[in-house]
Amino acid sequence: MPADHPADHPVAPAAPSPAASGSTADASDGRGVLLITNARAGTSVVRPDPLPEIRRRLPQARIESLGDSSMDDIVASAVSAADAPTVLAVLGGDGSVSRAAHLARRHDLTLLVLPGGTFNHFARAAGLDTVDAALDAYAAGTVRRVVVAEAVIDDGDPVTVLNAVSLGSYPELLAEREKRTSLGKWWGGAVAAWREIHGAHRITIVRDGRRAVVWSVFAGLGRNDPRRIAMMRRASLDEAVLDVRLHHARGTRLRAVTSLAFGRRTLAVMRALRLMPPASDLERAVVAEIEVTVRPGGATPVFAHDGELTETPAGDYRLRLRAIPDGLRVYAR
């Protein structure tokens, strides 16, 4: 488990706030904002350093960088101080944003997402394609209540999910890529994909007494494109359902890996080459909550949420997911 992801604690839904969906609060110079930056995020993307502009527009914000202290410790220390923040801002990718969302819910803070990762799936779903757009939303005081999900393994504490949860091939691919961080995200991912084509593992899941052998399971927030399997970016901030996709392990490992493509152009190429699995290998369910027993077999004992890996028991385990309406307050456009 990453260093800034210690054991979780139960999270209550965000409390009522006068800044409801579509409302506008007074513009601010950043007083009451705790901003946490993750310098390791988005290293595969060349972009100007956003911190000078952030400091100019939020001169009174308290800015901390992830390093020796975890995000949990930084936030816990800040909220216990006399001048506790009311807004938790994060400059990073989806993994950092997901963790910040969890802490914002725990400490009843409003989340401000400053996109600084490679893909920024949640930020884009919230209409925050750039740091300037996010700062504009903050200045306008436009706060929305959005749906989140909670994931629970066995009898553990819930973990906040912003985009999607995955089992099987995708977490295996991420685990392989993390072994090759020295190659960078793109080359490391290419090597990981090549290894998965030759060594991906099938997993067994049991739901409502029904057993299935699958390459992968994806559960995304809100109804998504029915042609996709790998759902990284949510299609809705407000729809309190999970769009679940099962890729039954009837085809080849090659199709197991190509099914993880999520970019429009890549998907179009894979379909043109007939490398995507047929519809008969796919199963979809749209539900408010789901519980599955996972029997990983020889697969890596991890699952992924919001692009981050989380360790699971080495043997069988139970995974429960449920959508939480109005679970988070966030600045959005």
277-321 pLDDT tens trace? 888 899 999 999 999 999 988 777 788 999 888 888 888 999 999
Number of Cβ within a 10 Å radius of residue 40: 13
Answer yes or no: do 115 and 217 share one domain. Answer: no
Asked whether residue 39 is assigned to any structural domain, the reply reads yes
Q: What domain range includes position 279?
A: 164-305
Tell me, what's the pLDDT at 19?
41
Tell me, what's the pLDDT at 7?
41
- Asked if residues 172 and 297 have their Cβ atoms less than 8 Å apart, the reply is no
Asked whether residue 270 is assigned to any structural domain, the reply reads yes
Asked whether residue 159 is assigned to any structural domain, the reply reads no
Q: Please report, in tens digits, the pLDDT of each residue of the chain (333 residues total).
A: 333 444 444 454 444 343 444 333 445 799 999 999 987 775 556 578 999 999 999 999 999 999 878 999 999 999 999 999 999 999 999 999 999 999 999 999 999 999 998 889 999 999 999 999 999 999 999 999 999 999 999 999 999 999 999 999 888 888 877 766 666 665 556 665 666 666 788 999 999 999 999 999 999 999 998 888 888 889 899 999 999 999 999 988 888 788 877 666 766 666 776 778 888 899 999 999 999 999 988 777 788 999 888 888 888 999 999 999 999 999 998
Answer yes or no: do 61 and 110 share one domain. Answer: yes
CATH number at 2 reads: 3.40.50.10330
Nearest C-alpha neighbor of 282 from the set 232, 222, 233, 212? 212
Domain count, the chain: 2
Tell me, what's the pLDDT at 97?
97
Tell me, what's the pLDDT at 252?
83
Cα–Cα distance for residue pair 197/43, rounded to 1 Å: 26
Cα–Cα distance for residue pair 179/149, rounded to 1 Å: 29
Phi-psi region of 312 (alpha: psi -120 to 50; beta: other; left: phi over 0): beta
Answer yes or no: do 49 and 120 share one domain. Answer: yes
Answer yes or no: do 229 and 113 share one domain. Answer: no
Asked whether residue 41 is assigned to any structural domain, the reply reads yes
Answer yes or no: do 226 and 258 share one domain. Answer: yes
Give the pLDDT confidence of 124-149 residue by residue, as tens digits.
999 999 999 999 999 999 999 999 99
Answer yes or no: do 294 and 333 share one domain. Answer: no
Asked whether residue 214 is assigned to any structural domain, the reply reads yes
Instruction: Please report the DSSP string for 29-75 in residue order.
Output: SSTTEEEEE-TTTTTTS-----HHHHHHH-TT-EEEE-SSS-HHHHH
Answer yes or no: do 201 and 297 share one domain. Answer: yes
Asked whether residue 24 is assigned to any structural domain, the reply reads yes
Answer yes or no: do 140 and 250 share one domain. Answer: no
Task: Give bridge partners of residue 324 from the DSSP assignment.
Answer: 148
Answer yes or no: do 143 and 279 share one domain. Answer: no
Mean pLDDT, rounded, of the chain: 85
Answer yes or no: do 207 and 255 share one domain. Answer: yes
Answer yes or no: do 86 and 209 share one domain. Answer: no
Tell me, what's the pLDDT at 69?
87
Asked whether residue 269 is assigned to any structural domain, the reply reads yes
What residue type is assigned to position 177 of the chain?
R
Answer yes or no: do 71 and 186 share one domain. Answer: no
Cα–Cα distance for residue pair 68/230, rounded to 1 Å: 34
Which residue stretches of the chain are H helix? Answer: 51-57, 71-79, 94-106, 121-125, 131-140, 169-178, 184-199, 253-258, 264-272
Asked whether residue 319 is assigned to any structural domain, the reply reads no
